[in-house]
Structure 1
Amino acid sequence: MAVVANLDPKRSNAGSDALEALIALVADDLNAVNEQILSRMHSSVELIPQLGGYIVAGGGKRLRPVLTLAAAQLCGYQGTRQTALAACVEFLHTATLLHDDVVDESDLRRGQASANAVFGNKASVLVGDFLFARAFQIMVEDGSLDVLRILCTASAVIAEGEVLQLTTTNDTDTTEEAYLEVIKAKTAELFAAACELGGIVADRPAVEQAALRSYGMNLGIAFQLVDDVLDYSAVQARLGKTIGDDFREGKINLPVVLAFRRGDEEERQFWRRTMEDLDQRDGDLEHAIALMTRHNALHDSVERARHYGAVARDALEMFPNSRIKHALLDVIDFVVSRDF
């Protein structure tokens, strides 16, 4: 049994096109960001650029740095600070991925072997530390205390989110509120910081900086909600990606929270056995998906994502109409309707 998380398949291609359109609008700056990443990953210690390059090369669409570049363009910024800061955002993101995969004992990252599976846990943790250090060097070079405040705060909040997730893993009593607290810290905080930086470099009023932060925060929440749904999605399986990783690790995400809360006692015993005790047997993943489907847990999780997407949309209302604004609005559809 499988579930297609994308509730409106006709929108999936449109969402992907929206992301490509946003990337095209910041293409020159993004090329400069990629150059910054390559140059700043240089080290005489051969393993550092080797491992760092491995994970950066598989780094997907660079959504977070793209948001920094787009936010700066939305604010009319004409300088160059945004490219180094976007690289900084990508370093922070990459460092957290390295550490996440070690903590989660993950063997795969975006369909390929994770860095820790290839290079080992010790190397992954230490290179993650190196990337954090590089990010802080970039912040200091920029010279703005506001930039330093935003990114240092984001780094601390993300670390808190990782620790908080440890307290909810394998705990079926986790509430929706506790789950949201985790994903706001672990995922959405960096989205928020990435967007807020655009207003900072352009020296925009505080109300605009706050609006950009709100856009990023709500976009990030929607992104993680859909990510959690995709872990149980047939779309992922058709793309050759593994499904059920969160289930096998006992991670409590919103589909589990909703299915557990809405189920009867027999169903709750199933969740306790599989998620708390990690006593998982053949067919348990399929049964978990069946329970989520029965209780509309996947559907309602996507609907929550749509809600946060709508809040993100509202946050940009104060900005004048432009191609970059419309691209930022359209990328919300990509986040909510994506299948990768």
Structure 2
Amino acid sequence: MKIVSQIKQPIEFEMELFEKKFSVAMSSKVSLLNRITHYVVNRKGKQMRPMFVFLIAKMTNNGEVNDRTYRGAAVIELIHTATLVHDDVVDDSNRRRGFFSINALWKNKIAVLVGDYLLSKGLLLSIDNNDFDLLKIISVAVREMSEGELLQIEKARKLDITEAVYFDIIRQKTATLIAACCAMGAQSVNAPKSEVESLRKFGELIGTAFQIKDDLFDYGDEKIGKPTGIDIKEQKMTLPLIYALNTASEQEKRWLINSVKNHNKDKQRVKEVIDFVKEIGGLSYAVTKMKEYQQQALQILQTYPNSPYKESLELMVNYVIDRKK
């Protein structure tokens, strides 16, 4: 966590104030809702998304933020939290960040309603303050996230995913929200349109690198320990596996598809798939791709003068691909 607190340092004050404002933004007259949202707020993760909003706003606006920046960060967090609550219902997941998920504690019906409540809170926070430009940024992101999830489900059934489709899925599923955070930070301080777009692209590049790193965790390495093979068990098509399928002979390809489709619960077979993907160069290919995205993101930052905010964003880009979990 040391690196995260280092990244946070130049926005320490803003993040503390944000947490107070965020709790207020979630409040309701219904005590059950307050109990649940209190549970959510107290189990927050590293809060990367609001950090992106504040760092970008300060980097582009001479270290200054305004009320719109706080509202932008709160809208992102409200709507992101709503999607997580709904995701846990969709995935039938009982845990979230090591704690029980809302659906595990309060059942699916309540979880869906809480997600709807948080979504409406986010929309109203923007509408009540005439932040229609900020609302558009996050609404586009939510639409893309839903499309990305559905595209992945559609493709997973056939295992016929190409590298281009893979990048399309992760751009929508993962990268679009980080892109929205960066665009939100710039837009909240009324940066020019071209700059907002450039920083949206910056977020998209980091988000893509982040997802490739997640793919690599499934294969493990010396630092992480044992490979998990969870993505293979869930028939998720990740970059190392796609590369292996594209590079393998017809016979190997048939064996791979058969393994992922019909033997994905067989531990020995999953281990054989992992070993094959490593041997054929799937991991090193994915690492190369991840570093390309990292470098492109850093290049965008190079156009800005040195500042503590720029330094934190550089640390963030490097943290995304160096993290251990």
Q: Above 0.5 in TM-score?
A: yes
Separation (CA, whole Å) in 2 of partners of 1:50 and 1:267: 53
Runs of 4 or more consecutive aligned structure 1 residues displaced over 6 Å after TM superposition: none
Give 1:181 shift: 0.5
Give 1:69 shift: 0.7
Task: Specify the alignment match of 1:123 in structure 2.
Answer: 110
Root mean square deviation of aligned Cα: 2.4
Task: Specify the alignment match of 2:121 in structure 1.
Answer: 134
- 3-state SS of the aligned residue for 2:267? coil
Separation (CA, whole Å) in 2 of partners of 1:109 and 1:295: 34
Q: Are the aligned partners of 2:163 and 2:239 in contact in 1 as well (CA < 8 Å)?
A: yes
**Does 1:196 find its partner at 2:183?**
yes
Whichever residue aligns with residue 178 of structure 1, its letter is V
**Does 1:19 find its partner at 2:4?**
yes
Q: Are the aligned partners of 1:88 and 1:139 in contact in 2 as well (CA < 8 Å)?
A: yes
Deviations along 1:312-334, one digit per CA (max 9) or x if unpaired, are: 11112322221111211121110
Whichever residue aligns with residue 118 of structure 2, its letter is L
Q: Where does structure 1 lack aligned partners over 5 or more consecutive residues?
A: 1-15
Task: Specify the alignment match of 1:95 in structure 2.
Answer: 82
Task: Specify the alignment match of 1:259 in structure 2.
Answer: 244
Structure 2 residue aligned with 1:169, among 156, 159, 164?
156
**Does 1:39 find its partner at 2:24?**
yes
Separation (CA, whole Å) in 2 of partners of 1:91 and 1:57: 14
Q: Are the aligned partners of 1:25 and 1:324 in contact in 2 as well (CA < 8 Å)?
A: yes
Whichever residue aligns with residue 198 of structure 1, its letter is G
TM-score under structure 2 length normalisation: 0.90
Whichever residue aligns with residue 313 of structure 2, its letter is L
Separation (CA, whole Å) in 2 of partners of 1:230 and 1:305: 13
**Does 1:231 find its partner at 2:195?**
no
Q: Where does structure 2 lack aligned partners over 5 or more consecutive residues?
A: none
Which structure exhibits the higher relative contact order, with contacts defined as CA atoms closer than 8 Å and separated by 6 or more residues?
A: 1
Give 1:17 shift: 4.6
Separation (CA, whole Å) in 2 of partners of 1:58 and 1:225: 26
Structure 1 residue aligned with 2:50, among 50, 65, 70?
65
Separation (CA, whole Å) in 1 of partners of 2:40 and 2:231: 21
Give 1:48 shift: 3.0
Q: Are the aligned partners of 1:171 and 1:276 in contact in 2 as well (CA < 8 Å)?
A: no
Deviations along 1:283-334, one digit per CA (max 9) or x if unpaired, are: 2332222122112222221221111111111112322221111211121110
Structure 1 residue aligned with 2:286, among 297, 301, 311?
301
Task: Specify the alignment match of 1:5 in structure 2.
Answer: none
CA distance change for structure 1 residues 124 and 250 in 2, over 3 Å: closer, same or farther?
A: farther
Identity of aligned residues (%): 30
Separation (CA, whole Å) in 1 of partners of 2:222 and 2:29: 42
